[in-house]
Structures are given as C-alpha cells and as structure tokens.
C-alpha cells in the first residue's frame, strides 16, 4: 500500500502542488491518482514552469496565435483546458469520496487580491468556464478577499482560500466560510455540494523567522515555529467546527472547511525534506506537496498522527516568541503582503512567456 493511501486511514489527503499538460497527457497524473493522490493545486508560478518546458501547449498556442488572442485570455484558455482535463481524471475520486476530495484548484488573477468585486466576478467566470463540480477557485485571504470568499461560498462555489499565515487569518477565513454557508442555507442552497479548504502556509514562517531568531540568540526555536503555528490552527479548527452554530449547518449537510497545509517543502536544506509533512498528519486535513517533496515522502515519510501531538511544546514555542519581541500576527501580515507580491511576479512572467511563445509559433 502506498504511503498516500496509508495517510488516508489517518484522515489526511495528499494533493499535488503541480500541474502540467505533459503530466496529464503522459498518464503521470492518472498514475499518481491510482497510488492515492486525492487532488491537485495550481498557481501562476506552476503554470509558468509548465509552459516553459516541452511542447505540449504548442498546438493550442498556435490556434490562439491565429486568433490574435491577448496573453491574459490565452493563459486562461490554456489553464482552463488543463484544469478540465485534471478534474476529469480526478472525478472518480470526487465521486468515491462523495465530494470530500478529487478537487483541482485554479487561482484568480493575483493582481485582484485587494479588489473584492473584481475577485468575485473573476471567480464566478472561471468557475463557470471550467464547468466541473470538482474545481476549486483559489482566493487569497486578504481583507478584500475575505468578503469575496463569504459571498462566493454563499453562491455555492467551491473555494480554496490561500495565503494564510497567522491565527488571525485562520479565524477570519473560517468565519467567512461559516457565514457564507449560513447565507447559502438561508437562500435554500445545497450545502452538501459546497467544499472549501483553508490553505495555511507553513515553511515560509520558518524561512521568515529563522534568520531573526538567529540574530536574537534564539536558535533553539529555529525550525519549530511554523509547525507549532500550524498545530495551534488545527486546534482552533476543531473548536470552530463544533458546537451549536456549526451543528446547525452540519445537520443541513455542510462540510467542514479542512485545513490544507501549503508551502510544505523545506526551504532550509539542513532540515529533513519531509519535516512539514511528517509533523502535520491528522484527521480532516490536506497536505499539498510539490513533486520532489511527494517523492521524498513516498520514500521515507512517517505515517503517524502528529498534528495534535505534544501541543504543550507547540504552545510553549509560540509563547516564547514574545520574550524576543516577535509578534506572530504581525509576521503573518507581512508574509501575506509578500505572498501577494510573490504571486503577482510569476503571473506577470507567465504572461510574458505566453506572449513570447505565441510569437514563436506564428
């Protein structure tokens, strides 16, 4: 039995943080699904990488070039076809799990991160264009994005909330989901048909804090805060998705919004390459892994419930940050702002790549 299937027994689903037409057409994605892969996530950087490698997109690019398609529209046409093909491959997973898994995520234009109405309009358009029940639209957890998330959930659109780094982000996202479901219920919507994940970024927290901890003489906290931060979020998840308010929705068929651990490849080569996988395993969670991390976990990952193990140590590590005048909520805000920019840059590079490739095939 593959390790991905072993994790399913512990309640965790593994998704792949990568997509390309080569992977789809070669049968590589189907092979991963056969081994236990339960979903796929994508972002502009992933699409840019896929487009810059190989020739799988040449035929469609030629057609788009002949139609004099603008780069932004060409990107959407290319991405939507990939997402549709991937969702079709994962549809049996979606059906077998009754809509718990089998999703493929497509991100709204990251330049809309601070534009509520434009985010809503783009999410609605992309959701309709893909036209698959197992697509999730990725929306960032910015202040403006939170309003969009609540409204989109209220319309019954599956949402993958991205760019979360702090407990404050998590609380706001979970409440946006719950409020969206309450609106959907009030309007007679079909709650069991709606799914959402809360993508909480892990390794970037350590990458941000480790140099600071080094300078402050707190080396004993290096490599520990990201996991501790995530474990605290998991405990909050258990609290928020219980109790009278949640039960009213659950009784109407609502699904919990599962925490999805994102950014789980190690940035520091001195850390174990499965650090952010081994230590966040537990029920009702998803971990989305880039190919290299997925391979590493398949080779030597640990199969054990760890997401709520040794919570006292996690709480102590986070609390100790105050001794060094580090505010984790402020760090989260900074990381989110940086994250928006990190998504904008590859998106712009992606459009440049498409423009260049359209010229080449003309």
The mean pLDDT of 324-329, rounded to a whole number, is 97
Q: Model's pTM, two decimal places?
A: 0.96
Mean pLDDT of the chain: 96
Q: Interhelix angle for 143-154 vs 116-130, to 10°?
A: 40
Q: Where in the sequence is the domain holding 151, given as residue range(s)?
A: 3-361
pLDDT in tens, 113-172: 999 999 999 999 999 999 999 999 999 999 999 999 999 999 999 999 999 999 999 999
CATH number (domain holding residue 53)? 3.20.20.70
CA distance 17 to 222: 25
pLDDT in tens, 262-290: 999 999 999 999 999 999 999 999 999 99
Tokens representing residue 112 in the block: 């809309």
Q: What is the DSSP string of 75-89?
A: HHHHHHHHHHHHHHH
Residue 53 has pLDDT above 70, yes or no: yes
Residue 362 has pLDDT above 70, yes or no: no
pLDDT in tens, 202-244: 999 999 999 999 999 999 999 999 999 999 999 999 999 999 9
- Domains of the chain: total: 1
The mean pLDDT of 175-185, rounded to a whole number, is 98
CA distance 288 to 46: 13
CA distance 167 to 329: 7
**pLDDT exceeding 90 applies to what percent of the chain?**
92
Q: Which residues are catalytic?
A: 138
**pLDDT given for residue 359 in this prediction:** 80
């Amino acid at each position: 039995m593959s390790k991905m299937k072993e994790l399913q027994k512990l309640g965790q689903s593994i998704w792949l943080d990568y997509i390309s037409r080569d992977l789809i057409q070669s049968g590589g994605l189907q092979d991963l699904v056969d081994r236990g892969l339960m979903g796929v996530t994508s972002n502009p950087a992933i699409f840019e990488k896929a487009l810059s490698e190989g020739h799988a997109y040449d035929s469609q690019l030629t057609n788009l070039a002949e139609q004099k398609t603008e780069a932004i529209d060409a990107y959407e046409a290319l991405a939507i076809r990939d997402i549709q093909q991937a969702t079709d491959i994962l549809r049996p997973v979606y059906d077998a799990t009754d809509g718990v898994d089998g999703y493929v995520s497509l991100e709204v234009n990251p330049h809309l991160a601070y534009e509520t109405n434009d985010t809503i309009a783009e999410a609605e358009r992309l959701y309709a264009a893909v036209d698959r029940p197992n697509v999730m639209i990725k929306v960032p957890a910015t202040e403006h994005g939170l309003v969009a998330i609540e409204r989109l959930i209220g319309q019954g659109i599956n949402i993958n909330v991205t760019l979360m780094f702090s407990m404050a982000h998590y609380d706001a996202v979970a409440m946006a989901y719950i409020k969206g479901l309450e609106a959907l219920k009030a309007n007679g919507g079909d709650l069991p048909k709606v799914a959402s994940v809360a993508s909480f970024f892990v390794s970037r927290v350590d990458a941000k804090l480790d140099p600071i901890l080094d300078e402050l003489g707190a080396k004993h906290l290096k490599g520990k805060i990201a996991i501790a931060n995530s474990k605290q979020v998991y405990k909050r998840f258990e609290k928020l998705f219980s109790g009278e308010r949640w039960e009213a929705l659950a009784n109407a068929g609502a699904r919990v919004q599962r925490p999805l651990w994102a950014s789980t490849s190690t940035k520091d080569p001195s850390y174990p390459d499965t650090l952010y996988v081994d230590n966040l395993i537990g029920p009702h969670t998803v971990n989305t892994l880039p190919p290299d991390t997925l391979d590493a976990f398949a080779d030597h990952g640990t199969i054990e419930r760890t997401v709520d193990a040794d919570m006292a140590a996690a709480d102590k590590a986070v609390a100790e940050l105050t001794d060094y005048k580090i505010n984790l909520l402020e760090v989260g805000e900074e990381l989110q702002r940086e994250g928006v920019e990190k998504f904008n840059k590859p998106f712009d590079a992606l459009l440049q790549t498409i423009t260049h490739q359209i010229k080449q095939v003309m």
